[in-house]
Amino acid sequence: VGGDSAGGNLAAVVAQKARDETGPAIGFQLLVCPVTDSDFERDSYHEFGDPKYLLSSAMMQWFWAHYVGDGDMTDPRVAPLRAESLEGLPTAHVVVSGYDVLRDEGLAYAERLEQAGVDVTLSRADDQPHDYWIALGMIDEAERAVAEAARQMTRAFQQA
């Protein structure tokens, strides 16, 4: 499974759900600038919350309000970083942008995956904004990130 931004959230949640409900078997997670938590107080929200960085803190709060409505934003079924355990999840490749409100939660999710014994690789683009990797043909770092994601996916499938 894989996804970008909100899609990364859905991919992480689906991987956890598949693990908890014993299937379907998922062999790889590609999580690009993923939304993994609803904590708007992380440092990256303060550092890069201005709209000039593409994805602002206000936008994320609006998205969350519409995603969960009256639901609980801390429920692991919408905030996968808050899951009790990340053990038993499939191999993951996490892509993180440096100038992104989601940077710190992406890094935290990759770290928790590693602590849980999940085979995880992390690709950091510290000088790029949220979702930079969609700028194929315009940003060299995007080309490198997509190529690295393809290498990691190939590696995971060859080991399966």
CA distance 13 to 110: 14
Active-site residue, 38 included: no
Is 93 assigned a catalytic role? no
Please give the C-alpha separations between residue 117 and each of 86, 91, 100, 126, 149, in angstroms, as whole numbers.
8, 10, 27, 25, 20
Q: Which of 5, 38, 57, 97 is catalytic?
A: 5
Distance CA(80)–CA(75), nearest Å, equals: 8
Report how far residue 110's alpha carbon sits from residue 106's, in angstroms, rounded to the nearest whole number. Answer: 6
Query: Could you say which of 37, 38, 104, 130 is catalytic?
Result: 130
The pair of structure tokens assigned to 58 is 């206000």
Please say if 57 is a catalytic residue: no
Beta-carbon contacts of residue 75 (< 8 Å; ≥ 6 apart): 68, 82
From the candidates 37, 100, 104, 131, give the one annotated as an active-site residue. 100
Q: Which are the catalytic amino acids? A: 5, 100, 130
